[in-house]
Structure 1
């Protein structure tokens, strides 16, 4: 593995937009909100990571083959030393079940563009992207 690969945190995230707001989560002990999702495990596809992480965090089941690629975004990772970059590959997807905090998730909250200063660096880039597309109020 090249040293440059070690400085990238590979994450998959779910983007759910409703009425100009986007679903976000806050983990126990954290101050910022993050899009639901997480790190890929060795050998997992994007869809497998998305299904596992969303089940673990939000207690719902992603409908297989319903995910749609939104974009990949990179930024300095919050709370990590300079040069540690988070690469967030984002998808929308259908799901079954009722959204409910699970495992490390303390709060689920619908955010709009005015909440941009409460989210992580990479999420701010995604907020700007969604605002420019007219999907976030």
Structure 2
């Protein structure tokens, strides 16, 4: 198996800690985001996924690419690796776990073991940009 899962993710940092979510039934934390629907660009996919998962609206004017990470796929039996394009953006609204999201947590570098591999790579990416101490 050598298939790569292509996803988008929102990197939100507050107080030096990155937002992560846990889907119901999953053991590790992930970043808000997911797969693009056919024809969706990055902005459309990230903003839709975040709206569906956290019930907040992202701010298009502050939407920026942070980078792309690649890591071993976790809990995705059809895929060997994940390619995750990471973006930052302001938001409007209060976080409310919705749909498949059962929990949201702000994590720091000491919490790496709670994160799926691609989310660990995204935490490192955020740190390399000075967002996480």
Same fold (TM over 0.5): yes
CA 1:31–1:93: 2 relative to 1, 3 Å: same
CA 1:13–1:83: 2 relative to 1, 3 Å: closer
Q: 1:57: which partner in 2?
A: 53
Unpaired runs of 5+ in structure 1? Answer: none
Task: Give the Å deviation of 1:82.
Answer: 8.8
Provide the secondary structure at the position in 2 that maps to 1:103.
coil
| Correspondence list, 1:79-118, <5 A | 79-81=75-77, 84-118=80-114
Task: Give the Å deviation of 1:77.
Answer: 0.6
RMSD (CA atoms): 1.8
Distance 1:38 1:79 in 2: 14
Unpaired runs of 5+ in structure 2? Answer: none
Provide the secondary structure at the position in 2 that maps to 1:72.
strand
Contact between 1:26 and 1:33, CA under 8 Å: does it hold in 2? yes
Provide the aligned length of Structure 1 versus Structure 2.
133
Distance 1:82 1:55 in 2: 26
TM-score, scaled to structure 1: 0.89
Distance 2:10 2:50 in 1: 8
Distance 2:52 2:128 in 1: 31
Contact between 1:76 and 1:82, CA under 8 Å: does it hold in 2? no
Task: Give the Å deviation of 1:115.
Answer: 0.4
In the TM superposition, what whole-angstrom CA distance separates every residue of 1:6-61 from its partner, at most 9, and x where no partner exists?
Answer: x1211110011111100110000001000100111111000000111011000011
Task: Give the Å deviation of 1:81.
Answer: 4.6
Task: Give the Å deviation of 1:87.
Answer: 0.7
Task: Give the Å deviation of 1:83.
Answer: 6.1
